[in-house]
């Protein structure tokens, strides 16, 4: 019939809106909603015995599972691609929870992945009596580098007066968070010492704590984090995912401070190739999350950042942005920081001061693929792009 078309449904919330438009009896929702959205889930390193059971069970429920050819021999392990609706997965989970060969653990992993697919606004409690609402709209994190050698604006805001002026400009432009970095992480820079980093931070922070703004500190050092949190900071943005300084995690736990865990192979595993880009990043972020939670930091105080530009090639950075939605399976708010980075310059053939449009494109794509927070240099323009993209993505229908 004229007007018939394919409709893309990503989760149960969207499915519910479509059923409401059609005028379906609400009593039928519990039966229809689990059938309305189709998802593919890639499982890593499943024993071939377990893979064969998964395939048989998924097929018997009406779904599908792709397994390696050699899995038929029953020895070894490999990846499995599951294909099905939420109904198929829920039926599968009942069976896997009573199966051997490690399938109870697989069931728990699938359950966790599915839980992460549904949008869930949350409030993160911050130190000093503040809170951060995540998931209602895209949050804008403005970048303030008080360093002499950051790749984009090194030296511009080294003077505290200039730094505070720039921070207030970003607040006026609509920033929700100001992320202050006092030690450059660019590959060819000379890393500031711990005391120097603290001495750069505190004069700026002292003048910003009275502002109506959330302050994040871009540091991997425990003592810098301690000094910042004791002087008004609310979030620690760790580019090392707890791997660069063993003193950071105890400080986070003591202060119960939220942390952004950024994936980074640049310092710890430089040059090591990825076997599977997305899966490898997820595994390494899961390890960091587990480390934090086991030490006593609540899981709801963790934000993840897949780490665009840190130990990744041009093609890997673009793929990471395209596949950002895959990280929703971790069930944590997602931050993305692509602003003015070299992969934009390499793609468009532009120097760092000409990358505004490319940066704004990454903001829109990141939001469409599940980002909750975007870390940017150009706050006013990014705020407008985010507001427009949010309006489109949140439109009913």
* Identified catalytic residue from 55, 265, 355, 375: 375
CB-CB contact of 338 with 359 (8 Å): yes
Q: SS3 of 60, please?
A: helix
Q: CB neighbours of 95 closer than 8 A, spacing ≥ 6?
A: 57
Q: Please confirm, yes or no, whether 341 is among the known catalytic residues.
A: yes
C-alpha pair distances (Å), 123 with each of 41, 84, 188, 233, 302: 28, 32, 38, 17, 12
CB-CB contact of 227 with 202 (8 Å): yes
- Alpha-carbon gap, residue 224 to 199, rounded angstroms: 10
Q: Please confirm, yes or no, whether 332 is among the known catalytic residues.
A: no
Beta strands (DSSP E) in the chain are 38-47, 64-66, 77-85, 122-125, 131-134, 139-145, 177-181, 214-218, 235-238, 259-262, 302-305, 335-336, 373-376
CB-CB contact of 112 with 60 (8 Å): no
Where is 272: in which H helix or E strand? none
* Identified catalytic residue from 332, 341, 355, 383: 341
Residues with active-site annotation: 341, 375
């Amino acid at each position: 019939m004229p007007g018939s078309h394919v409709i893309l449904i990503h989760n149960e919330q969207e499915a519910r809106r479509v059923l409401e438009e059609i005028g379906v009896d609400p009593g039928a929702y519990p039966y229809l909603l689990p059938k309305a959205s189709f998802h593919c889930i890639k499982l890593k390193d499943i024993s071939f015995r377990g893979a064969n059971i998964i395939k048989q069970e998924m097929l018997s429920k009406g779904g599908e599972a792709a397994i390696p050819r050699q899995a038929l021999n029953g020895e070894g392990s490999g990846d499995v691609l599951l294909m099905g609706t939420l109904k198929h997965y829920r039926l599968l989970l009942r069976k896997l929870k009573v199966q051997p060969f490690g399938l109870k653990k697989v069931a728990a992993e699938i359950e966790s992945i599915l839980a992460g697919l549904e949008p869930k606004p949350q409030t993160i409690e911050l130190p000093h009596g503040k809170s951060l609402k995540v998931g209602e709209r895209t949050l804008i994190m403005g970048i303030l580098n008080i360093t002499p050698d950051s790749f984009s604006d090194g030296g511009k805001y080294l003077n505290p007066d200039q730094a505070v002026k720039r921070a207030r400009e970003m607040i006026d432009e609509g920033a929700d968070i100001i992320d202050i970095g006092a030690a450059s992480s660019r590959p060819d820079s000379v890393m500031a010492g711990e005391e120097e980093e603290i001495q750069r931070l505190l004069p700026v922070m002292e003048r910003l704590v009275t502002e109506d703004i959330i302050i994040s500190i871009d540091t991997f050092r425990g003592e810098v984090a301690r000094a910042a949190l004791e002087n008004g900071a609310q979030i620690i943005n760790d580019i090392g995912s707890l791997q660069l300084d063993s003193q950071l995690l105890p400080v986070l736990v003591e202060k119960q401070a939220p942390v952004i865990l950024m994936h980074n192979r640049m310092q710890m595993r430089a040059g090591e190739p990825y076997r599977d880009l997305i899966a490898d990043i997820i595994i390494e972020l899961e390890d960091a999350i587990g480390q934090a939670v086991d030490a006593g930091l609540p899981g709801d105080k963790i934000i993840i950042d897949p780490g665009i530009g840190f130990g990744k090639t041009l093609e890997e950075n673009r793929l990471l942005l395209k596949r950002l939605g895959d990280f929703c399976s971790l069930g944590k708010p997602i931050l993305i920081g692509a602003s003015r980075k070299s992969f934009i310059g390499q793609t468009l053939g532009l120097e760092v001061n000409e990358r505004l449009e490319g940066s704004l494109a990454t903001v829109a794509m990141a939001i469409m693929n599940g980002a909750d927070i975007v870390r940017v240099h150009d706050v006013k323009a990014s705020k407008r792009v985010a507001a427009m993209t949010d309006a489109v993505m949140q439109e009913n229908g």
